[in-house]
Amino acid sequence: MSTPAESTRSVVIEKVFPHPPEKIWRALTENALIAQWLMKNDFEPEVGRKFQFRFDPVQGWDGVIDCQVLIVDPLNRLSYTWGSMGLESVVLFTLTPAEGGTHVRMEQSGFRPDQQQAYGGAKYGWQKFLGALEQVLGGLK
């Protein structure tokens, strides 16, 4: 059922849940329900809304994930930024009807492109950077 896939550029988790998209969408977008499976939050399904996920703090980390809603496409797609420890990533949920239920795909990636002008005039987003260093990273595994 579960087909986890990882690369050096993104984290992808996919699963078919034996439930209709409407029910899954509620679990992804109602903050009381989100708290039951993901974590405490003040999410609202409005594009541009800033919100936080809160974990119990640990030494050296306040337990806060700073987010902003990017996409609210009911029953189809939900996306928000996920900022933690100086690294901002993007989380995207995609719902697709599947036999016997709904296919849910979560991808955390797309490290946002930088706004500032980069070294040598080039734009070095995280994604490009990690892609370029894939071999280096691969050597660590």
Partner 1 sequence: MVCAVNPAHANPVFRALADPTRRAIFEKLSRQGEQTVHALTRYAGVSQPAVSKHLTVLKRAKLVRHRREGRETHYRARPDALAPVVDWLRHYGAFWRDRFDRLEELLERMEG
Please give the Cα distance from 127 to 141 (Å, whole number).
19
Number of residues near partner 1 (by CB under 8 A): 57
Residue 116 lies near partner 1 (rule: CB under 8 A): yes
Residue 114 lies near partner 1 (rule: CB under 8 A): yes
Q: Are 96 and 103 in contact (CB under 8 A)?
A: yes
Q: Which stretch binds partner 1 (CB under 8 A): 41-49, 50-58, 66-74?
A: 50-58
CA dihedral 109, 126, 61, 12 (to 10 degrees): 20
| Half-sphere exposure in the Cβ direction for 141 (13 Å, CA) | 8
Residues engaged in binding partner 1 (CB under 8 A): 2, 4, 6-8, 10-11, 13, 15, 17, 19, 22-24, 26-27, 33, 36-39, 55-56, 58-61, 63, 65, 84-87, 104, 106, 108, 114, 116-126, 129-130, 132-133, 136-137, 139-141
